[in-house]
Every structure is written in C-alpha cells, then in structure tokens.
C-alpha cells in the first residue's frame, strides 16, 4: 500500500459526530468519537450552511434593519464556529500527521469561504446604510458598538474595493492562510525533531525536579530510563539557568534559537519574505502606506509612531540596566576564574548565580513550593474572592488527551457559568507556548449560552507519582492564561462577535497581565505555596527573598521582549523589499537599536509564531507592553484601596473589564474602572527600571 496520504473516506451526516447534536454533559465535544476523517465533510456542510445563511440576508427584499442584517449575521455560521473550534484546538494542542495534512487543506478553503462574504457588495451596502443612519435607529449601547465593529470589519476586509482589487485581495488572503499554516507546521516540525539526550555525566547543576521532568519527557518520546532536554521553553530555560555544562548550554541555546532557520525542509525564511510582501500589497490595496499603518488604525495605539514611542521609552532604561547587569555577570565569570566572554547561553546561568549572591534566592529554592495543583487552586481562589465564582472538577466531560482536566464554573448564586479546560503539560503533539481559546463563546442572543474556555500550557510534567513543579515564570504564566480564561468565562454580552476576548489586541492582554499580580502577593503565596513533600507553607524568609528578587534581571527580560516588538514593527513599516534577506534584516535592526550581543530576541523571526503563524499579533506584539501600562496602573486601584480583594474595586473590574467583552470602547472601559487614563510610569516602576543607570 502506498505511504502517500490517502483522501479521507466520505462521512455522512448520520454517523459524523461533528454534524450531530452532542449528547454529552453541557453539549461538549465528544472528542473520543471524532476522527480526522470527520472534519472535511463537516467543514463542507458548515461552509454550505453559512453561505446559504448569508445569501438569505443579501436577498432579503425588506429594507435593511438591525434585526434582518446585523442580528442575522450574528446568528449565521454556528456550525462553522462549532467545527472550527474543535479542529483548531486539536491542530494546536494534540495534532497528528492526518490533522496536519488536513490543516494544509482547510486553511486556504477557510479563506476561500470568507473572502466572498467579507467582500460582498450587497451585504456591505446593507451594513453601510445602517451605519450611516445609526443615530436614528434607537440602538442600545451594545447594539451601536456591534454595528460599528461590523461596519469596520467589512470595510477593513475590502468590501468597498472595486472588483479587480477584491479579486486580488481574495488571492492574497488565501495565500496568506496557506503560508501561516506552513509557518506553524515548520516550527512544530523543528521542535519535534530536536532533543538532547543527557547521560549521567551531563546532569551537573540540574535540580532534582528538572531531572525528573527530563525523564518524563524522554518517556513521552519513547526513551524510557533516559533524560532529554527539548526546545520547549519550559525545558530550555531551566536547563540554561542550572546546567554547569557550558558546552551543553550552548547546544540547547543554539537549537532553540535556530528553530525554523536550519536550511532544512522546515526553514521559514522564504515563508516570511512572501508573507511580508503580501501583507504590504494588501495594505496598499486598502489605501494604507504600510501594513503596520493598516493594522494599528484599528487598535488603541492607532499609529506606528505611538507604538514606537512607547517601546523606545521603555527600551532606553531597559538597555541601560541590561548593560550594567552584563558587566556584573562578566565580573562574576572573572571572579570564578573563567577566561571567556559572557555569551547568550551563559546569561541565565550567571544571572541565577548573581541573584543567589545578591538576593540569596534562586528558582530551585522556591519550585518545591510551587506545585501545579497549588497554583491552580490559588488562581481559582483569587477568582472566587474577586468575582464570587467557584470551581468544581468534573470527570465526566470528554477531553482530547488524558492529561486534560475540566472544571465546572458557577457564579456567586450557584448558577452554571462556564466549563474551564486545563491542558498544562508539554508533549510532542502540542505546539509550543501558552494560550487561551474557547470551544464555545458566551452569548445571550439565542438562550443563555455558557462558554467552554481552554487554557493550554507547556509545563514540564513531573515523574510518575510526582507533582509538576513550576518555576516562578511558569506560575506567572498559569495566572496570565487564567486571566484570559476569566475574560472568556465572565463575559456577559448579547452578541457572539463581542464576546469575551473579542477586543483590540492591545487591550486583550490587560485582563491576563493584571491577573498575574495576584500570583505574587504574599497572602496568596502564604496560603497556596506549600512544599510538595511535607505540605509545609512557604517559609517567610524565602517568601521575602523571592519578593525582593522579583525585579532582578528585568533589564534582560525587557530587552528581549522590546527588541522583538521593535523588529515586528520594523518588518511591517519598512518596505517588504528591505527584508528579503530575513537574517540580514534582523541583524541590521538589532545593530540599529544597540541590542546587547549577549541577549537574543525572545522570538527570532523564523520562530515568531505570534506574527507569522497568522496575523493576529502582526504589528501587534507591542500589545503586551501597551497592556502592561494599564495593568500596572490598574492593580494600583486595589493597592490604593488597601485590600487586594477590595469588593468595590473588584466589582468595577468585573463590570467594566472582565464581563463587558468587546461591547464598549476599551479606553472608555478602562477609564470607567480606574476613573482616569492609565499613568505610564507604573510600568517602569513595576519592572524596577525607574532608576536604571545611564545608557552607554
């Protein structure tokens, strides 16, 4: 039999679980019944249903009104949303070769389906007519917001272009969908192929918890009794912090930073060049000078100049702090008798040594107290104290992998509010990183629809019978993604398009980054950070040392992030022709900003999935920093109240930020919560960069 991929067998609606009503608790996806061959027939049906629904709107002989146009649009595409959510969850969190092959076919077909809808002249004419007369329609605040967002979405998709431009825009969209999928698959391919097997002599300096996780990772890769380091960040970073073997640190670092840039079948350089050229062309078709100008018009920042201004304001003190830290690390190497210059694979290792010397703290000391279960309990408890929600684990909900856990979420009155899925461990079938998504969004347009919210992480799994121990960064990531999750779970809007995280990219990180603040609060850690063997609470002296060390190495962390955000901005503001040699472009831009040679980008271009696996964060990686201005300022509201769970402040946070979704302008929402615009200095204070040394 040929090894070539075979076309999927046809699947009729009668036996296709994606096309049947789900007889599961809360009508959740029956993952065990769903096979790769079910997806194409389900997508075909979903595309056909959606096209028919759109045709009914465009052919409606009645004059356009909110109900027969905007509300009808909101009700359309339910099957497509249902099938897509399951498909993309599996592709990213538990893929296999059959799903990845399907992904190559589905992505361009999805673009092919949406192009004629988003550029439909008759449909846009109905929307535009309503938009023009919106003041006379008697709309509620949420309806007005939905009309404005719908008009903007269609206008920015090219609905107002002439036929030739629409045809070209459709071609571009389809090709970009293919390229984004290719980029993701290449990155996953490099991550799956590379690992470093550690012999008994290669474990010097590695804490017991890391070795246990490395053995679990080897077991998962079919190497029982071995220990491996992978290019997952949860494996790479602790290895670079702890391993005494400089030669192995160099190998791991180089493998991590070379993902997608190895000149092999997974190389992403040519993919990036084509993506940037097509994005530039699409922006110009829409009347914008650059893709960044197009993208940022529909954001809080509004312009590339505003983004660059924020990033440069942070870059200057961060770089100065990083250079001072570099000199201190080099001095430490000399003190130890080392006769070599600090290299990027040395930074984390010697930064940990310096932190131990200056703050008497290292991650290995606190990890035994940061169990995954303890930090999940902490995240749940903070949500309960802030918003009244409760979480109870359900073992009767179908999941896509045995490690996935599910909790039922109830509001303060005991009413069902959501289901929360947690998929926490790294595995070869999962793409790297951490993210929140949903299998179903909250809405009340057709009944009270409760959301199905997912958090996907890549933490190292503990050895058999042992808990997973988190680093402080891992624990912060858990709270970050759970903050996104709360944004989805607490959503209280009428219309699906405005649900949960359907907000500007540079606002969507506010609920997640704000929630991180509770993870590092002493009263939270005293209650939930307990030793995994003894159950003893975190000793007060260790807690104080941890809190004192939080701002240590912030120059490094800020530089690697801001440099990545600046590169993203330059990719999308300069002519696409300037980046035909991606490596040379990267090198030139880093030289331009004075990037310390000892620090690499948090995401080198060939692995920068945020901006090249799709366009959600393209020209938008700065969003984390833009939101951090708000989150640092927002937590101040609780500090000023003298209680990190202050009920009145929490109620405003719930009503104005977490539950309102995209139903109001984000700037208005923030001012409603805080009583004023955010104060930018809070960001520099939080990162400990206010008194950074003068830049060299």
**Domain spans in the chain, listed from the N-terminal domain onward:** 13-118+120-160, 194-257, 368-549
Q: Which of 446, 395, 448 is nearest to 418 (CA)?
A: 448
Would you say residue 13 has pLDDT above 80? Answer: no
Architecture of domain 368-549: Orthogonal Bundle (1.10)
Would you say residue 696 has pLDDT above 70? Answer: no
Write down the CATH number for the domain with range 13-118+120-160. 1.10.1370.40
Segment 335-347 mean pLDDT = 97
Residue 534 has what pLDDT?
96
- N-to-C CA span, the chain: 66
- For the chain, percent helix, then strand, then coil, each to nearest 5? 60, 5, 35
Residue 694 has what pLDDT?
53
Would you say residue 409 has pLDDT above 70? Answer: yes
Q: How far is CA 597 from the centre of its chain?
A: 27
Residue-wise pLDDT tens digits, 308-338: 999 999 999 999 999 999 999 999 999 999 9
From the candidates 191, 280, 352, 481, which is the catalytic residue? 481
Would you say residue 3 has pLDDT above 60? Answer: no
Percent of the chain having pLDDT more than 90?
Answer: 89
Residue 461: CB atoms within 10 Å: 22
Residue-wise pLDDT tens digits, 433-452: 999 999 999 999 999 999 99
For 312, residues 6+ apart whose C-beta sits below 8 A from its C-beta are none
Residue-wise pLDDT tens digits, 567-600: 999 999 999 999 999 999 999 999 999 999 999 9
Distance in angstroms (rounded) separating the CA atoms of residues 150 and 135: 16
Residue 367 has what pLDDT?
92
The neighbouring-strand residues paired with 371 are 469
Distance in angstroms (rounded) separating the CA atoms of residues 315 and 566: 10
Q: Which of 114, 94, 187 is nearest to 613 (CA)?
A: 187
Residue 688 has what pLDDT?
87
Q: Residue 524: exposed, middle, or buried by beta-carbon count in 10 A (0-12, 13-18, 19+)?
A: buried
The H or E element spanning position 230 is strand 228-230
Segment 260-289 mean pLDDT = 98
Least confident of 113-122, 526-535, 546-555: 546-555
Residue 314 has what pLDDT?
95
Residue-wise pLDDT tens digits, 16-71: 999 999 999 999 999 999 999 999 999 999 999 999 999 999 999 999 999 999 99
Q: CA of 4: how far to CAs of 7, 10, 38, 233, in Å?
A: 10, 18, 19, 33
Would you say residue 12 has pLDDT above 50? Answer: no
Residue 6 has what pLDDT?
40
Residue 51 has what pLDDT?
98
Beta strands 416-425 and 452-459 are parallel
Residue-wise pLDDT tens digits, 215-238: 999 988 899 999 999 999 989 999
Residue 32 has what pLDDT?
97
Segment 75-81 mean pLDDT = 98
- DSSP characters for 354-406? HHHHHHS--HHHHGGG-BHHHHHHHHHHHHHHHH--EEEEESSS--SSTT-EE
Residue 9 has what pLDDT?
43
For this structure, is 481 an active site residue?
yes
Q: Which of 573, 583, 557, 562 is nearest to 618 (CA)?
A: 573
90-121: b (≥16 Cβ within 10 Å) or e: bbbbbbeeebbebbeebbbebbebbbebbbbe
Q: Where are the beta strands (DSSP E) in 151-210?
A: 195-197
Domain 13-118+120-160 and domain 368-549 have a common topology = yes
Indicate the pTM of the whole model.
Answer: 0.92
The neighbouring-strand residues paired with 196 are 229
> Are 627 and 513 spatial neighbours (Cβ–Cβ below 8 Å)?
yes
Distance in angstroms (rounded) separating the CA atoms of residues 475 and 370: 7
């Amino acid at each position: 039999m040929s090894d070539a991929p075979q076309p999927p067998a046809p699947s009729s609606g009668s036996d296709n679980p994606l096309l049947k009503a789900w007889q599961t608790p809360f009508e959740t996806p029956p993952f065990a019944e769903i096979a790769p061959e079910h997806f194409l027939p389900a997508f075909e049906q979903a595309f056909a249903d959606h096209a028919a629904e759109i045709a009914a709107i465009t052919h409606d002989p009645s004059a356009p009104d909110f109900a027969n146009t905007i509300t009808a649009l909101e009700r359309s595409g339910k099957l497509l949303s249902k099938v897509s959510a399951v498909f993309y969850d599996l592709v990213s969190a538990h893929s296999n070769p059959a799903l990845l092959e399907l992904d190559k076919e589905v992505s361009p077909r999805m673009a092919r389906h949406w192009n004629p809808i988003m550029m439909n002249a008759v449909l846009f004419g109905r929307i535009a007519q309503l938009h023009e007369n919106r003041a006379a329609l008697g709309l509620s605040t949420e309806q007005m917001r939905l009309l404005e967002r719908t008009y903007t979405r269609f206008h920015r998709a090219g609905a107002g272009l002439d036929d030739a431009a629409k045809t070209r825009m459709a071609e571009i969209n389809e090709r970009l969908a293919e390229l984004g999928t290719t980029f993701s698959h290449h990155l996953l391919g490099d991550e799956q192929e590379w690992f470093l097997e550690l012999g008994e002599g290669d474990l010097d300096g590695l804490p017991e918890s890391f070795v246990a996780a490395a053995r679990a990772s080897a077991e998962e890769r079919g190497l029982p009794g071995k220990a491996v380091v992978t290019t997952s960040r949860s494996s790479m970073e602790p290895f670079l912090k702890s391993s005494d073997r400089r030669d192995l640190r160099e190998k791991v670092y180089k493998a991590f930073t070379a993902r997608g840039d190895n000149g092999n079948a997974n190389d992403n350089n040519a993919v990036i060049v084509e993506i940037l050229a097509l994005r530039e062309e699409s922006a110009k078709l829409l009347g914008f000078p650059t893709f960044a100008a197009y993208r940022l018009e529909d954001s809080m920042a509004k312009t590339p100049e505003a983004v660059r201004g924020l990033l440069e304001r942070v870059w200057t003190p961060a770089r100065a702090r990083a250079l001072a830290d570099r000199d201190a690390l080099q001095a430490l190497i000399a003190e130890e008798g080392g006769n070599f210059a600090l290299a990027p694979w040395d930074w984390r290792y010697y930064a940990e040594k310096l932190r131990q010397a200056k703050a008497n703290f290292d991650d290995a000391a606190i990890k035994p107290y940061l169990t995954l279960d303890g930090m999940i309990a902490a995240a749940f408890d903070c949500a309960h104290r802030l918003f009244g929600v409760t979480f109870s684990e359900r073992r009767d909900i179908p999941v896509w992998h045995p490690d996935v856990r599910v909790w039922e979420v109830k509001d303060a009155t005991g009413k069902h509010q959501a289901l929360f899925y947690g998929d926490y461990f790294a595995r070869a079938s999962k793409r790297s990183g951490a993210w929140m998504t949903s299998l179903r969004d909250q809405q009340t347009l057709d009944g009270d629809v409760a959301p199905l919210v997912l958090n996907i992480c890549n933490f190292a799994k503990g050895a058999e019978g042992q808990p997973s121990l988190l680093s402080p960064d891992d624990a912060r990531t858990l709270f970050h993604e759970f903050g996104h999750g709360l944004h989805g779970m607490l959503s209280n809007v009428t219309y699906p398009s405005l649900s949960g995280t359907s907000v500007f990219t540079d606002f969507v990180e506010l609920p997640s980054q704000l929630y991180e603040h509770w993870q590092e609060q002493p009263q939270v850690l005293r209650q939930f950070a307990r030793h995994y063997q003894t159950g003893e609470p975190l000793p007060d002296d260790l807690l104080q040392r941890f809190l004192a060390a939080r701002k240590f190495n912030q120059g490094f962390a800020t530089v690697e992030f801001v440099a990545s955000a600046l590169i993203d901005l330059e990719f999308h503001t300069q002519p696409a022709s300037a980046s035909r040699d991606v490596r040379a472009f990267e090198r030139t831009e880093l030289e331009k900003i004075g990037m310390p040679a000892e620090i690499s980008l948090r995401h080198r271009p060939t692995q920068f999935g945020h901006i090249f696996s799709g366009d959600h964060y393209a020209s938008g990686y700065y969003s984390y920093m833009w939101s951090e201005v708000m989150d640092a300022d927002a937590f101040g509201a609780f500090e000023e109240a003298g209680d990190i769970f202050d009920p009145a402040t929490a109620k405003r946070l719930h009503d104005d930020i977490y539950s309102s979704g995209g139903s109001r302008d984000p700037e208005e929402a923030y001012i409603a919560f805080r009583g004023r615009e955010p104060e930018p200095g809070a960001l520099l204070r939080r990162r400990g960069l206010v008194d950074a040394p003068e830049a060299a």
